[in-house]
Amino acid sequence: VRFEAIQSDLGVARNILTDRLNSLVEAGVVQKVQYNDKPVRYEYRLTEKGSDLYGVLISIKAWGDKWMLKNGPVPKVVHSSCRSVLSPAVVCRDCGEELRFEDTHISGEEM
């Protein structure tokens, strides 16, 4: 995603966005890739580390949409292949059951 697009979407000051993007680059969450020579321009792409945050971020968005937004339309996330509106859920990788807090516990045992 190009800097200008991010800045336009978020409406954040350029210097603040630059600092935040640089922090994400340093943390290995995004990489800065040059796409133009004159003038030199960059876009930001998720790294594998950044892509691993997708489930967390989409879950936080769903929580915010439910509990924090009071007015106006909520942008929906649509699954590209089946065109369904995404409704994130945490499921057990082994049995496929949807998980709730009360259905889990922390174990000190190595698996």
Q: pLDDT tens digits for 22-44? A: 999 999 999 999 999 999 999 99
Say whether pLDDT at 110 is over 80: no
Could you report how far apart the first and last alpha carbons of the chain are, in Å? 38
CATH code for position 37: 1.10.10.10
Chain centre to alpha carbon of residue 62:
11
Tell me which of 109 and 37 has the higher pLDDT.
37
Number of structural domains in the chain: 2
My answer on whether 65 and 98 are in the same domain is yes
Of residues 36, 32, 26, 60, the one with CA closest to residue 46:
32
Task: Mark whether 34 and 8 lie in a shared domain.
Answer: yes
What DSSP element (H or E) covers 26?
helix 14-26
- The parent domain of residue 12 ranges over 3-51
Same structural domain, 62 and 101: yes
Q: What is the pLDDT of residues 61-103, one digit of tens each?
A: 999 988 988 887 888 899 999 999 988 999 999 999 999 999 9
User: How far apart (Å, rounded) are the C-alpha atoms in residues 62 and 88?
Assistant: 7
